[in-house]
Amino acid sequence: MLAAIYFGIATPSEIAGVGCFLALVIGFAYRRLSWEALKGAFLSTCRITCFIGWILVAATVFGYILSFLQLPQQLSEWLVAQSASPYLVILGINVLLIFLGCIMDPAGILLVTIPILVPVIKALGFDPVWFGVMFVVNMELAQITPPLGLNLFIIKSIAPPEVTLKDILIGAWPFMILDLIGLALVIIFPQIILWLPSTMLRG
Query: 127-138 burial, b for 16+ CB within 10 Å, e for fewer?
Result: beebbebbbebb
Q: Tell me the pLDDT band of 203, cut-offs 50, 70 and 90.
A: low
Whole-model pTM over 0.95: no
pLDDT in tens, 23-38: 888 888 887 777 787 7
Q: What is the mean pLDDT of the chain?
A: 81
CA distance 20 to 130: 33
Q: Which of 189, 186, 94, 181 is nearest to 142 (CA)?
A: 94
